[in-house]
Structure 1
Amino acid sequence: MSYFELKEPPRREDRLKACIAYGTTLGEVAGRRLRCTLADGERSFTQNSICLLLPALGTMNSIPNSVVLMHGGLGCGSSSHGGNAAVRAGNNQRWGIVKNGTWLSTGLTETDVIGGGETKLARAIIEVDRRYRPAVIFVVASCVPGIIGDDVDGVAEQVQAEVQAKILPVHCEGFKTKIWATAYDAVYHAIGKTLLPNSREISIKEKAGPLINLMNMSSMGRGDEQELERLLKVLGFDVNIFPVFADPDNMRRMTQADLSVSTCPTHDDYMLKHLKDKYGIPFIIRHMPIGIANTGKWLQDVAEFFGLGSQAQAIIACEEAELKAALEPLRSMFQGKKAFVSAGEFRALSTAILLAELGFEVVGIRAFHHDEFAEVEYEKLVRITGTDCPLNIANCQPFEEANLLRRIKPDVFLGHMNGNSTAAKLGISTHVVYNVGLNYVGYRGAYELARRLYRQLKNPRFNRNLSRFASLPYQESWYQENPFKYIKTAGGDGDE
């Protein structure tokens, strides 16, 4: 049975047996499937994490002519305010319009928790349709309706005949999973179940070339999309980017593609398998096009599917030669420098490979979770860095990160914008590992990241000065402990 026949997607803990807590080395992971999630929890002490609702909102708010209706407490969804600049910029870059993310809340109260919130939700859906006339209303189930048993799908089905917009229930009950990558499955599930047609559509318009679905589930900004479009169009391919900033009226084009290509296997496997099973569209989900070698492998795989392998080899050779010349003045700055990377698993590993290609010594990696799709990336990285590089599988947990950073003392730390403060307070130079306004992907991304790191390392004084006046909340005794002490499967006692 297809997962899309279910009301909501399964947790990644169940579907992929994904791991969210481990402390080991790259050599321990490469070449074997790591399974380390325990049924009763992963740590005897846990500091913090995030809810799957946050990454889901990043995608839903990007969809033009849509409204996100949060069914839950008033605070749920408020992170949309912080992400609105990216929504405005993304719409402007792609469509030439400045569109805010539009989200509302049913604002469930204590009375609603006792009596149920289904009536309030039905009224809210009708009012959203009347007031905004969107093409799509995402009805997002947060923790409260999941706990009290509100039937969000049933309400959507009941009200659909009264509104013009398509109603898409999205299940983001944060207490159900500790792996927030399940958010990508939740959004894909809603789109695939409700928006896409029941059968494959064949376009009557003649295509410029083979049509490729280029998957972007918040994996990259517009600059990175343009870099991959550039490489694919040189080979004669027509490109359809999905789902961020994809107009709901044009999403049907997904079913007309000749091939779907992942840009981040962590994000995309759930939807790619659905497109293959329901519409017969083959897919490629092997590499993330970050880094010199990975970009070439990614492009080569796509080209060989259409019998264009030799043409791709010529393009790759030309691009790599040009990039090598551009990087030459920068490389001396990176020699002997140590780098630590923290991000979602595929981004962390592919970025680490790129840093090694630039001349850095990769001395530590933190991945937010681990599943089967990244196994080949671990093997690639081990061939470059060796087997002893520390690996922390952690859904945040900055106390473990602080311990590792004090031990390793890297020269530069690459992490997400809201996760760089630990390294910064230790006086380590930091750089964002992902930002929709910057380039990371393809050959241009490799050069732009190198150029930014060159400038960062040329003058590292800011964070060094910051460390004189800012401190972390951990006692000195913690830095003498095993950083993985509280991970139950890492050899620690797990009982303190």
Structure 2
Amino acid sequence: MARRPRLEPRETRAEATQAFLGRAADLAAEFAAGTPPRRIRSFSEAAPDDLRPALAILSEIPDLGLVVHGPRGCGVRAPGPAPLAVTDLDQRDTVLGSGEVLAETLRALDAACPVAAIAVLGSPVVAINSDDIRATVAALGPELGKPVVWVRTEGVRSAVPATGGDAAAEALLQLVETQNGPREPGLLNLLTSTRSPELAALAGQIEGLGWRVNILPAGARVAEIALAGRAEASLVLAPDLLGLFAEGLETRFGVTRLDVALPLGAQATVAVLRRVAALGRATGGGGPPAPPRPLSEPLAGRRLALALPTAWGLAAAELIGDLGGTVAVLSVPHLDRSHAAALGSLAERWPDLQIHVGEGQGFELAGLLRRTAPDLLLGAGDAVVVALRQGLPAAVLDPARLIGAAAPEVLTEAVDIALARWALVRGAVQNARPGYTPGWLKRSPDWHIKQEVR
């Protein structure tokens, strides 16, 4: 059996960092100067691994069975319709190995659920007992008569959880390879990890230009994923997780990746639709849309903090600036070479913008919010909880809602919600247990972020 290429961690493949707190201008200068210094945490409040994002992506495929090879607790996942089984390894399995347990679990899942394919995800325990997942997968595929693919999330490969998106992308590409066929003119892949009404509206606009849209992997079936290699182009709406999937479709199957900014706001959405229309004219599609109306400034005078996935956070920060607001804090899970241009643009606009890089690091975010005192925070639920405990208005902002020309209205509505509800939640927050002791909050929020010595 030929050896498969090694799955490179994000730190190696894209010079990613998951530990930084400082000025946008300083971090942008490091990327501009070449390879940025690698930083580590000597203390981490939480350490998400690459299994979680891989599960979040693959669990949205309803007819893809998932088998997590590890202890029962490794089966915690984002909710999704995909059937899930866990091999439930015990102490003996951890030491002596458990290849037969994996094979039995695969057979049991296939017998219990009508799935079109099965994906096997490793866990850190596999790095201890050295189970050969690849050999089991290769043997069970022909036996079960359907694709069985390996998702390489075993071990602790990377400190950047988005590496799990790369592992999921590799598995998705294996599903494409099993049913590759001739090119289908007019087919466009819309690559996303979530769905929303705004996404459906964008797909409708693209279809109005003469294309057939294949939305995947979120909500897609295995047969639709198999069609991805026959498409003419791919538009990526989750570049931080599915960028490698788009790259693989381009290099292995010749599916053009559209190099455009995320369709966030009228101007960016029109740019995307014009790019698609330029390709679509060859298939009888309609003309490009009309130019957008000039933006007003409904956020003038507002200082915001954002806590969003990296690509969406950078794009949303730019839009907030166009709407007259100022971003004082931007908290993202990681930053890598693909974000350098957008980071540089933000640094030119707001050199002193505080960039916080780290997932699940509530103490760092709490200290930063206390120091910078923005008017409010928008973003993920865990960041909203941190902000509220620090006495800061906050509201959840789903990046999927920002797709399309209505993004300014979504942003301003979220700001209004955060401010309007603050009076209601302030009393409850003041009586709640503090998230961190006064001693912790006296510390500098980046005291434990160190530059790695190479």
TM-score (norm 1): 0.83
> Against the structure 1 CA distance between its residues 8 and 257, is the aligned structure 2 distance closer, same or farther, given a 3 Å change threshold?
same
Q: Give the length in aligned residue pairs.
A: 448
Q: Structure 2: how far apart are the matches of 1:459 and 1:74?
A: 39
Going from structure 1 to structure 2, the CA distance change for 1:131 and 1:474 (only over 3 Å counts) comes to closer
Report SS of the residue matched to 2:169: helix
CA contact (8 A) 1:292 1:357 kept: no
**In the alignment, is residue 351 of structure 1 matched against residue 316 of structure 2?**
yes
State the partner residue of 1:94.
none
2:331 pairs with 1:379: no
Letter in 2 for 1:278: R
Note the C-alpha offset of 1:422.
0.9
Q: Post-superposition shift, 1:57?
A: 1.2
Return the offset for 1:174: 5.4
1:141 CA drift (Å):
0.8
Q: Is 1:464 aligned to residue 409 of structure 2? A: no
Structure 1 residue 304, shift from structure 2 partner = 4.2
Q: Could you say what secondary structure the match of 1:240 adopts?
A: strand
Q: Which amino acid aligns with 1:44?
A: S
CA distance in 2, matches of 1:420, 1:224: 23
Are 1:269 and 1:285, in contact at CA under 8 Å, matched by a contact in 2? Answer: no
Contact 1:59 1:243 in 2 (8 A): yes
Question: Which residue does 1:447 correspond to in 2?
Answer: 409
Q: Is the 8 A contact 2:62 2:83 kept in 1?
A: no
Match of 2:361 in 1: 397
- CA separation in 2, counterparts of 1:281 and 1:390? 38
In the TM superposition, residue 5 of structure 1 has moved relative to its aligned partner by: 7.3
SS at match of 1:278: helix
Alignment of 1:160-171 (within 5 A): 160-171=141-152
Separation in structure 2 between the aligned mates of residue 298 and residue 285 of structure 1, nearest angstrom: 9
Match of 2:190 in 1: 214
Asked whether the 8 Å contact 2:118–2:149 carries over to 1, the reply is yes
* Separation in 2, partners of 1:275, 1:229: 20
Match of 2:71 in 1: 73
Instruction: Look up the match of 1:97.
Output: none
Residue of structure 1 aligned with 2:25, choices 27, 48, 65: 27
Q: Which residue of 2 aligns with 1:57?
A: 55
Unpaired stretches in structure 2, ≥5 consecutive residues? none
**Shift of residue 110 of structure 1?**
1.0
For residue 293 of structure 1, report the CA deviation from its aligned partner. Answer: 3.6
Deviation at 1:435, TM superposition (A): 6.5
For structure 1, list consecutive stretches of 5 or more residues without a partner in the other structure: 88-99
Shift of 1:310: 11
**Residues 479, 11 of structure 1: CA spacing in aligned structure 2 closer, same or farther, 3 A cutoff?**
same
Partner of residue 263, structure 1: 237
* 1:22 to partner: Cα distance: 1.7
Deviation at 1:335, TM superposition (A): 2.8
Q: Which amino acid aligns with 1:62?
A: E
Task: Describe the shift of the 1:186–1:485 C-alpha distance in structure 2 as closer, same or farther (beyond 3 A).
Answer: same
State the one-letter code of the partner of 2:308: A
Q: Summarize deviations over 1:314-363 as a string: whole Å, max 9, x none.
A: 4343xx46xx5xxx6xx65x332211011221121112222223332211
| C-alpha spacing 1:476/1:296, structure 2 compared with 1 (3 Å) | farther
- Residue of structure 2 aligned with 1:364, choices 304, 329, 335: 329
The one-character-per-residue Cα deviations of 1:454-482 (angstroms, maximum 9, x if unpaired) are 23323421342233112434344554544
Supply the AA of the counterpart residue of 2:391: G
In structure 2, C-alpha distance between the alignment counterparts of 1:253 and 1:410, rounded to whole Å: 47
Q: Does structure 1 conserve the Cα–Cα contact (< 8 Å) formed by 2:209 and 2:280?
A: no
Contact 1:291 1:350 in 2 (8 A): no
Of 459, 484, 487 in structure 1, the residue corresponding to residue 446 of structure 2 is: 484
Would the aligned equivalents of 2:42 and 2:448 in 1 still touch at CA under 8 Å?
A: yes
Q: Is the 8 A contact 1:22 1:489 kept in 2?
A: no
**Cα RMSD after superposing both structures:** 2.7
Matches within 5 A, 1:120-199: 120-173=101-154, 175-197=156-178, 199=180
Letter in 2 for 1:412: L
